[in-house]
């Protein structure tokens, strides 16, 4: 999948646990875990807004686009 979720990176930078983020954002641990592991198929703008507000970051700090071609080159050379 070309969209990489870096939620765990931002949480580590802010020294925030999944439990704490869950409470502050108002999402279940299960839903946040699905997002954190990159298994989510979509994210609501309201959810992204809440996460960015709590983590004091930009959407681009959490979501990263990696083209399929770049992923393929990495796999070929890695």
Domains of the chain: which residue ranges? 3-77
Q: Which residues of the chain have pLDDT under 50?
A: none
**pLDDT at res. 54:** 98
**pLDDT at res. 76:** 58
**pLDDT at res. 71:** 53
CA separation, residue 68 to residues 1, 8, 12 (Å): 8, 22, 27
pTM surpassing 0.85? Answer: no
- 35 near 7, Cβ under 8 Å? yes
Q: Decide if domain 3-77 falls under CATH 1.10.260.40.
A: yes
SS3 12: helix
**pLDDT at res. 2:** 87
**pLDDT at res. 42:** 94
**pLDDT at res. 67:** 86
């Amino acid at each position: 999948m070309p969209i990489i979720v870096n939620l765990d990176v931002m949480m580590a930078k802010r020294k925030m646990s999944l439990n704490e983020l869950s409470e502050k954002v108002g999402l279940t641990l299960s839903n946040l875990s699905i997002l954190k592991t990159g298994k989510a198929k979509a994210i609501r703008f309201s959810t992204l807004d809440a996460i960015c507000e709590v983590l004091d970051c930009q959407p681009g700090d959490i979501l990263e686009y990696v083209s399929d071609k770049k992923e393929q080159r990495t796999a070929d050379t890695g």
